[in-house]
């Protein structure tokens, strides 16, 4: 990594990272402000006679259930997304059911591995593409036509979509992830861990359900490293 080309590439990736960190955090703060302004207006300025305790108690009720995820989710997705895409993902939302699949498809379509430079840029572009499609379809189908569509789409169709969208999506995404990663041992380890958690550990200790995904991610990383094929030439040298 001492050739001039590599140094040059390092420097421009470093610039890319500092630019995306600056743009990313500024836009995220702006998004945070806009997302809070609406409810703040309703609560304080619209005469709905809402008291402080009402808001605090409701917030604590939500925090008790989801507070863990505020920290666990960024930790879980950071190794997959990389720092630039973190600021995109946590503002656009629908990370596991839309943004990650989009990133995997894009990376496999140009044969880039996640965590490499090409992989990172491909993920950022893919999330950009996904965001464009997503925002446009939301604005048109929910924003403009939503109240009309609500009377048009049969209730049974909405019900089926709501109930079964996750299995319909996750089966395909798991296959795509396995095929595009092309790593046998981590795949076997990850699937075995997931089966173990879903059918043994969580039923035995239901409280672990909250952390199951995060634990499987962490253990997959650790076991994939410990049980790696030591005869394999260092993969790091073939990246980019």
* Contact set for other proteins, span 158-197 (CB under 8 A): 158-179, 181, 183, 186-187, 189-191, 193-195, 197
Give burial (CB, 10 Å; 0-12/13-18/19+) of 104.
buried
Q: C-beta of 218: minimal distance to other proteins in Å? A: 8
Q: C-beta of 221: minimal distance to other proteins in Å? A: 5
Q: C-beta of 18: minimal distance to other proteins in Å? A: 10
| Residue of 3, 4, 147, 231 interacting with other proteins (CB under 8 A) | 147
* Backbone dihedral angles phi then psi of residue 217, each to the nearest 5 degrees: -60, -50
Q: C-beta of 157: minimal distance to other proteins in Å? A: 7
How many residues in the shown chain lie near other proteins by CB under 8 A? 173
Contact flags string 12-41 toward other proteins, x per CB under 8 A: xx-xxx-xxx-xxx-xxxxxx-xxxxxxxx
- Say which residues have a Cβ less than 8 Å from residue 223's Cβ, sequence separation at least 6: 189, 193
**Does residue 239 bind other proteins (CB under 8 A)?**
yes
Cα distances (angstroms) measured from residue 172 to each of 16, 110, 146: 32, 19, 28
- Say which residues have a Cβ less than 8 Å from residue 73's Cβ, sequence separation at least 6: 90, 95
In angstroms, rounded to a whole number, what is the distance separating the alpha carbons of residues 227 and 224?
A: 5
Q: Answer whether 24's CB lies under 8 Å from 87's CB.
A: yes
**Does residue 206 bind other proteins (CB under 8 A)?**
no
Neighbour tally for 195: CB within 10 Å: 11
Q: C-beta of 47: minimal distance to other proteins in Å? A: 5
Region 41-100 residues binding other proteins, contact defined as CB under 8 A: 41-43, 46-50, 54-55, 57-63, 65-67, 69-71, 73-80, 82-84, 86-88, 90-100
């Amino acid at each position: 990594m001492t050739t001039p080309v590599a140094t040059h590439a390092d420097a421009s990736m470093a610039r890319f990272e500092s630019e995306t960190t600056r743009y990313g955090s500024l836009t995220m703060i702006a998004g945070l402000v806009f997302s809070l302004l609406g409810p703040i207006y309703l609560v304080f300025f619209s005469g709905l006679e809402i008291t402080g305790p009402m808001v605090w108690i409701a917030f604590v009720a939500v925090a008790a259930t989801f507070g863990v995820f505020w920290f666990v989710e960024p930790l879980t997705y950071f190794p997959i997304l990389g720092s630039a895409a973190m600021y995109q993902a946590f503002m656009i939302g629908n990370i596991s059911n839309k943004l990650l699949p989009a990133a995997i498809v894009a990376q496999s379509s140009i044969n880039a591995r996640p965590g490499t430079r090409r992989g990172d840029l491909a993920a950022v572009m893919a999330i950009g593409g996904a965001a464009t499609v997503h925002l446009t379809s939301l604005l048109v189908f929910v924003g403009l036509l939503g109240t009309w569509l609500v009377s048009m789409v049969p209730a049974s169709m909405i019900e089926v979509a709501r109930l079964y969208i996750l299995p319909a999506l996750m089966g395909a995404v798991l296959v795509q992830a396995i095929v595009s990663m092309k790593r046998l041992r981590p795949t076997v380890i990850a699937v075995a861990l997931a089966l173990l958690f879903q059918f043994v550990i969580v039923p035995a200790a239901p409280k672990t359900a909250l952390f199951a995904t995060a634990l499987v991610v962490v253990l997959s990383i650790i076991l994939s490293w410990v049980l790696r094929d030591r005869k394999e030439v260092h993969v790091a040298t073939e990246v980019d």
